[in-house]
Amino acid sequence: MKLFLKGEKCFTKCVLDKRPGTPGMAKSQRGTPSEFKIRLREKQKLRRLVSVTEGPFQHLFLRASKKTGKTGEELLRFLEVRLDNVVRRLGFVMSLKTARQFVSHGHFRVNGTVVDVPSVELKPGDSVSVDAALKENLQVKLGLENAARRNTRPAFLEFNEAALSGKLLRWPTREEMSFPVTEQLIVEHYSK
């Protein structure tokens, strides 16, 4: 399955489009996969989509399980409002990997303060802006151009093109989240 980890390349030159079948497997798998394998693959797919290791991922799941809402949706909400993901969804960059790098280098401000931790969770009302030195960067220009062309900015984020800033207006709903996973399988995996 395409995870769209490499930005624009996933739309144009993808190996999965060229070759049918599972990459790296010479023979097809015998039988049907077990329930454990299905749940584990779903969890691993989400972990790879957001580039989080197992420890922090388990911590987020424990936090989500203590919330009053649905555990799977709360987990996805925590992942959706991370700074690196918000930077990507606003269209400043095309991939999560690039967003993490730019945030780690201190090129983004949250409410006027430089933040260099990609895993910072934003709250409704928080604003994200690009550092002045990064406004002429080629990656940022390509990201903004791509976002404008594809019109991919979600409704829970407000984008100000003149100031190159964005704002988290409210918590995202499940339909607005960008993760193509079945969160119930992840909850079942951790609830074993």
- Identify whether residues 53 and 99 lie together within a single domain: no
pLDDT digits 0-9 by tens, 128-183: 999 888 888 888 888 888 888 888 789 999 999 888 999 999 999 999 998 889 99
Short-list 155, 139, 179, CA closest to 8: 139
70: in domain: yes
Domain interval for residue 70: 34-81+180-192
Element holding 12 (H helix, E strand): helix 9-12
| Whether 154 and 102 share a structural domain | yes
How many angstroms separate the CA atoms of 167 and 122, rounded? Answer: 10
Residue 101 sits in a domain whose CATH number is 3.10.290.10
b/e 151-168 (16+ beta carbons within 10 angstroms → b): eeebebbebeeeebbbbb
Q: State whether 112 and 142 are in the same domain.
A: yes
Per-residue model confidence as pLDDT tens digits over 44-54: 999 998 989 99
pLDDT exceeds 70 at position 26: no
**Between β-strands 165-168 and 157-160, what pairing exists: parallel, antiparallel or unpaired?**
antiparallel
Indicate whether 137 and 101 sit together in one domain.
yes
Region of poorest pLDDT, from 3-17, 42-56, 68-82:
3-17
pTM, 2 dp:
0.82
Which CATH number characterizes residue 58's domain? 1.10.1050.10
Cα 118 to Cα 116: distance, rounded to the nearest angstrom = 6
Question: Please, where are the H alpha helices in 51-178?
Answer: 54-66, 71-80, 83-90, 96-104, 138-150
Q: CA of 73: how far to CAs of 62, 77, 187, in Å?
A: 13, 6, 10
Asked if 143 and 123 touch (Cβ cutoff 8 Å), the reply is no
Q: Are residues 110 and 164 in the same domain?
A: yes
CB 95 within 8 A of CB 140: no
Q: Are residues 76 and 88 in the same domain?
A: no
